[in-house]
Amino acid sequence: MEPVLLYDTTLRDGTQGENVNFSADEKVKIALRLDDIGIHYIEGGWPGSNPKDQQFFDLAKRVDFKHAKLVAFGSTRKPGTTPEKDENLKALLTSETPAVAIFGKSWDLHVEEVMDNTLPENLAMIGESVKFLKWNGREVIYDAEHFFDGYKNNREYALQTIAAACESGADFIVLCDTNGGTLPHEIESIISDVQKHLEEKGCKSPEGGAVKLGIHTHNDSGMAVANSITAVRTGAVMVHGTINGYGERCGNADLTSIIPILCLKMDRPCVTPDNLNQLKFVSRYVSETANLVPYNNRPFVGRSAFAHKGGIHVSAIMKVPRAYEHMDPELVGNERRVLVSDLSGKSNVVYKAKELGVELGNNGYDSKKIVSEIKNLEQEGYQFDAAEGSFKILMEKFTDRFKPLFELESFRVTIEKDRDKPCTASATVKISVEGKEEITAAEGYGPVSALDNALRKALDRFYPDLDTMRLVDFKVRVIDGTRGTAAKVRVLIESRDQERIWSTIGVSEDIIEASWQALADSFQFKLAKEEGARIGN
């Protein structure tokens, strides 16, 4: 099958998404990751529009991409000038990228009512700009902005705009669903008509074959991926998208879905299997760099994409994973997860025990007994599918394998409020490790942070490697609001070190007690891991 060219615009269209920002340095690092997984074209930004993008292209001049072509993005020349005098086009050339993308208007509404321009001048702007860039030795990707809306409004004119780009030597004509309102069946019929029209007009690619079409979609109707895939099926050979679907409004087409669909389900070569299994890593890398929480339910690469909760599902996937999985998660670098919750059956516990290396049944605690204990705890408000760290400790307790790496003797927390000043909190913690006691005090922004600081200080004498660990999230939920102040609270703490993230849970009628449970589990989990590493376990 013919390969499909992947065109990533995370660094340009992606950064138009709310809360998505990258520094020039971060952009270079992301571009290198994209190059690593075999993206063919990386759109780095709009050098004519802001100094940060200009800085990125300056930095990128010193970078050797193994595979990808870097693309600078801009617009056609302004009305009433020449390409040679147009600052925008000049900035594209000074970026020194092998390829450039320029967008032009296809929708008469934009030309006449938004731009206050004339239809013929718009055609001249497209043709002259493409010619100018080709003359300067660039590969030219022409983005037909609002193509589908333009086509619906004035088919003849929309077709004239792309014919102008073709006749001037554009290497790719990319049809854009800029407003994201087009549906897959419309994409199919419009692209088919475009192909027919360009052929009838005798338009060719610069190599002499059929015009090479690309697709650029937005997700305002939840159709960005479906529309891209439909376009490829109809004959597009280039797909634009962003990692994690970041982009303006509802985002762009998500390459983390498009890539596995093309490779695994349509047999369209685009990246190698080795690159494909880096996909989850790249998705995380980009969300971490953007400082955005990754969506758990993102197809293919989300944490929950292959997570099984229902007992029937779990017993089935233990026999045949295919029974409840559309593909092997490892192909995209993801993993199968089994969740433990009140929907659990025995199979979940057996699977989980195996995963954690816990042997069941040695002390009379078989999977059936554990399931019933878990169900009791869940009645009390525990929820283990979101707290794998605490679940591991619980399983170890059930099977007499739990070795506490510290024990609490006592703690005291004081909170002080002085008029309208912010609260201050301090905590004293007394712990013992193998019979040796340690008592410390610390302050914090609130009671949990004070406890965290005091415990850390106390443990430091015994376990000096704790500075890589930090708390990243703290969630409190009232479980039974109908009982007023006697209602229980559930505290979930998420912690991380350089290698992994883990969650722990505490439940109590007292928020500090619940927080302590979750905090203590989090440190026990971290220390057990260090201890395991130390004794080569």
Q: Which residues bind Zn ion (CB under 5 A)?
A: 13
The smaller minimum CB distance to Zn ion, of residues 12 and 212, is found at 12
Contacts of 127 (CB under 8 A, 6+ apart): 164, 165, 167, 168
The smaller minimum CB distance to Zn ion, of residues 17 and 38, is found at 17
The smaller minimum CB distance to Zn ion, of residues 42 and 469, is found at 42
- Rounded Cα distance, 115 and 108, in Å: 10
Q: What is the 3-state secondary structure (H, E, C) of 17-51?
A: CCCCCCCHHHHHHHHHHHHHCCCCEEEEECCCCCH
CB of 484: closest distance to Zn ion in angstroms? 52
CB of 30: closest distance to Zn ion in angstroms? 18
Reduced to 3 states, what is the DSSP secondary structure of residue 349? Answer: helix
Written as six digits, the tokens of 169 are 């030597």
CB of 275: closest distance to Zn ion in angstroms? 24
CB of 7: closest distance to Zn ion in angstroms? 11
CB of 191: closest distance to Zn ion in angstroms? 17
Written as six digits, the tokens of 229 are 């895939």
CB of 145: closest distance to Zn ion in angstroms? 8
The smaller minimum CB distance to Zn ion, of residues 148 and 306, is found at 148
The smaller minimum CB distance to Zn ion, of residues 219 and 524, is found at 219
- Rounded Cα distance, 360 and 401, in Å: 11
The smaller minimum CB distance to Zn ion, of residues 13 and 35, is found at 13
- Rounded Cα distance, 361 and 223, in Å: 50
**DSSP character for 365?**
-
Backbone φ and ψ for 182, nearest 5 degrees, come out as: -85, 150
Listed as own residue / partner, the contacts of 22-25 with beta carbons closer than 8 Å and 24 or more positions apart are 22/289, 22/290, 23/52, 24/52, 24/53, 24/55, 24/56, 24/59, 25/59
Q: Give the DSSP H or E segment for 357.
A: none
CB of 13: closest distance to Zn ion in angstroms? 4
Contacts of 295 (CB under 8 A, 6+ apart): 244, 302
The smaller minimum CB distance to Zn ion, of residues 127 and 241, is found at 241
CB of 52: closest distance to Zn ion in angstroms? 19
CB-nearest residue to Zn ion: 13
The smaller minimum CB distance to Zn ion, of residues 13 and 149, is found at 13
CB of 301: closest distance to Zn ion in angstroms? 21
CB of 36: closest distance to Zn ion in angstroms? 24
Please state, in angstroms and as integers, the Cα–Cα distance from residue 306 to each residue in 245, 261, 326, 442, following that order: 19, 16, 9, 42
The smaller minimum CB distance to Zn ion, of residues 241 and 260, is found at 241
The smaller minimum CB distance to Zn ion, of residues 12 and 27, is found at 12
The smaller minimum CB distance to Zn ion, of residues 219 and 495, is found at 219
Amino acid at 115: M
Q: How many CB atoms lie within 10 A of CB 233?
A: 14
CB of 216: closest distance to Zn ion in angstroms? 6
The smaller minimum CB distance to Zn ion, of residues 13 and 388, is found at 13
Radius of gyration of the chain (CA): 29
The smaller minimum CB distance to Zn ion, of residues 13 and 521, is found at 13
* Chain center to CA of 520: 31
CB of 248: closest distance to Zn ion in angstroms? 7
Q: Tell me the CA end-to-end span of the chain in Å, nearest whole number.
A: 47
Reduced to 3 states, what is the DSSP secondary structure of residue 144? Answer: strand
Nearest in space to 160 (alpha carbons), one of 81, 85, 104, 87: 104
CB of 178: closest distance to Zn ion in angstroms? 6
- Rounded Cα distance, 324 and 314, in Å: 9
Contacts of 214 (CB under 8 A, 6+ apart): 5, 7, 141, 172, 173, 174, 175, 236, 237, 238, 239, 240
**Is-contact 424 415, C-beta < 8 A?**
yes
